[in-house]
């Protein structure tokens, strides 16, 4: 590693350590302190900042430099999952611990590592006089870990970010994700009539009703979804939770099931929801005993590799790594889904491996953070340029 790269590594380590030390777990999703701390870095670099909050304690940070189009938005979420079993952690989850070239800590990989890279990049752009063309915006978003509406979705709804290109800091090991499936969460509730467990025929068992609905989902919808494919992507359905009953001696009068549907980019959440509604309505259960409710729903996206901004990022990776990036198949959903029908370029790029997210002893390789920072600096130089 050159002296320059070592200096960058030290800066990135310090920035990540600062972010990891500030708890931002979901629940409760309180991201105010981490946004305030990061905001000081952006202010020191000369950025115009705001901290939009619709529903406390969920905060977001928006930092802007330059004006007009093209506008490139860098987005990293700064909420994390909980620590889980603390005994499973070999290190303090709220301290950035370096071991064998990797930084350990809660959120190091998903996605505070990318947030640290974006903080460094913001300072570097300012050091070079700011963008020669258009504007650059950095977003640190909350509410991502619960797929909630108070983070990036809120910023888009209010027109607080209007990107021509959106670069999300998902952990991709500095490869690219340009296509992502849509996501739909559906709640199905079956109702019945309570009775004493010693006389089951006197009641109407909601669990048995839900079992019949489940059989219909598995025998009818699941085979249909298995035929819907696009490359490596598959349309899927996961039965995530079932809740029912109070005691074994009570016939349950209510049963609730939650479904996670992942949709191909060409599928729509409206059509997918209607498909489940129709299946439940045609299941033959008495009228009024089954209800279907849409909880979360956003379409998938697909960005062409030859778009001007994505192709500039590809070229920046090739220039730095002397090889083209891989195009990965995404299993998870990012905040890019909120812009799926906006006609903009959307790409996921960042250090870290998604496979180590949401687990004890989460870590990120420091060399990947350095590579990401240098690649993104070349990317900005190719797209917006620097004033000096």
pLDDT at position 105 is 97
pLDDT at position 16 is 98
pLDDT at position 225 is 96
Confidence of residue 316 (pLDDT cuts 50, 70, 90): very high
pLDDT, mean of residues 256-262: 97
Q: What percentage of residues in the chain have a pLDDT greater than 70?
A: 100
Count the residues in the chain: 388
**CATH fold for domain 182-298:** Alpha-Beta Plaits (3.30.70)
pLDDT, mean of residues 100-125: 97
pLDDT at position 333 is 84
pLDDT, mean of residues 138-156: 95
pLDDT, mean of residues 344-372: 95
pLDDT, mean of residues 329-356: 91
Burial of residue 75 (CB within 10 Å: 0-12, 13-18, 19+) is buried
Q: Do domains 3-180+301-383 and 182-298 have the same CATH topology?
A: no
Confidence of residue 124 (pLDDT cuts 50, 70, 90): very high
Q: Sheet holding 102-104: strands in order across?
A: 97-99, 102-104, 363-365
β-strand partners of 186: 259, 294
The SS3 of residue 102 is strand
The SS3 of residue 175 is coil
Confidence of residue 145 (pLDDT cuts 50, 70, 90): very high
pTM as predicted:
0.90
Query: If you count DSSP H runs as helices and E runs as strands, how many of each does the chain have, helices first?
Result: 9, 19
CATH code for the part of the protein at 3-180+301-383: 3.40.630.10
Burial readout 314-344 (b: 16 or more C-beta within 10 A, e: otherwise) = bebbeebeeeebeebebebbbbbbbbbeeeb
Distance CA 146, CA 91 (A): 26
H helix runs in the chain, sequence order: 3-20, 32-44, 113-127, 152-157, 206-216, 222-226, 269-281, 308-321, 366-383
Token look-up 């849409």 returns 294
Identify whether the C-beta of residue 62 lies closer than 8 Å to the C-beta of residue 161: yes
Query: Which helix H or strand E contains 284, and what residues bound it?
Result: none
Q: Sheet holding 61-66: strands in order across?
A: 48-50, 61-66, 135-141, 71-77, 165-168, 345-348
pLDDT, mean of residues 47-72: 97
Query: Which helix H or strand E contains 106, and what residues bound it?
Result: none
Query: Going by C-beta distance under 8 Å and a sequence separation of 6 or more, which residues neighbour residue 386?
Result: 125, 128, 129, 130, 131, 132, 380
Total Cβ atoms within 10 A of residue 88 = 11
pLDDT at position 329 is 87
Give the pLDDT confidence of 261-277 residue by residue, as tens digits. Answer: 999 999 999 999 999 99
Q: Domain residues of the chain, as ranges?
A: 3-180+301-383, 182-298
pLDDT, mean of residues 352-356: 90
- For the ranges 1-10, 132-141, 204-213, 348-357, the lowest mean pLDDT is seen at 1-10
pLDDT at position 313 is 97
* DSSP code string of 316-371: HHHHHHSSPPPBPPP-S--GGGGGTTTT-EEEE--SSBGGGTTSTT-EEEHHHHHH
Look at strands 48-50 and 61-66 and give their pairing. antiparallel
Q: Is the pLDDT of residue 1 over 80?
A: no
């Amino acid at each position: 590693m050159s002296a320059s790269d070592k200096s960058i590594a030290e800066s990135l380590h310090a920035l990540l350590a600062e972010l990891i030390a500030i708890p931002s777990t979901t629940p409760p999703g309180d991201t105010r302190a981490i946004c305030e701390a990061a905001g000081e870095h952006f202010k020191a670099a000369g950025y115009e900042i705001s901290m939009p909050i619709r529903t406390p304690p969920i905060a977001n940070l928006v930092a802007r430099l330059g004006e007009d189009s093209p506008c490139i938005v860098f987005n990293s979420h700064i909420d994390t999952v909980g620590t889980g079993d603390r005994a499973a952690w070999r290190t303090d989850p709220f301290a950035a611990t370096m071991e064998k070239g990797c930084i350990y800590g809660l959120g190091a990989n998903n996605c505070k590592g990318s947030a640290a890279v974006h903080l460094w990049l913001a300072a570097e752009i300012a050091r070079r006089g700011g963008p020669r063309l258009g504007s650059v915006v950095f977003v640190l978003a909350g509410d991502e870990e619960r797929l909630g509406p108070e983070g990036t979705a809120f910023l888009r709804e209010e027109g607080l970010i209007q990107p021509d290109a959106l670069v999300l800091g998902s952990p991709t090991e500095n490869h690219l994700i340009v296509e992502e499936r849509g996501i739909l969460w559906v709640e199905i509730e079956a109702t019945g009539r309570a009775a004493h467990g010693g006389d089951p025929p006197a009641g109407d068992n909601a669990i048995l009703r839900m079992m019949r609905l489940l059989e219909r989902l598995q025998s009818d919808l699941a085979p249909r979804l298995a035929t819907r494919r696009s490359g490596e992507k598959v349309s899927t359905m996961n039965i995530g939770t079932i809740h029912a009953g109070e005691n074994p001696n009570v016939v349950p009068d209510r049963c609730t099931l939650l479904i996670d549907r992942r949709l191909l980019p060409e599928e729509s959440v409206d059509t997918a929801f209607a498909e489940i509604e129709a299946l439940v309505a045609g299941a033959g259960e008495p009228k009024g005993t089954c209800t279907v409710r849409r909880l979360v729903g956003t379409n998938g996206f697909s960005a062409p590799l030859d778009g001007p901004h994505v192709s500039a990022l590809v070229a920046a990776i090739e220039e730095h790594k002397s090889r083209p990036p891989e195009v990965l198949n995404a299993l998870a959903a990012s905040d890019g889904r909120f812009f799926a029908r906006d006609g903009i370029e959307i790409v996921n790029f960042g250090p870290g491996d998604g496979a180590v997210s949401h687990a004890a002893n989460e870590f990120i390789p420091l060399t990947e953070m350095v590579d990401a920072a240098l690649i993104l600096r070349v990317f900005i130089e190719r797209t917006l340029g620097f004033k000096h």
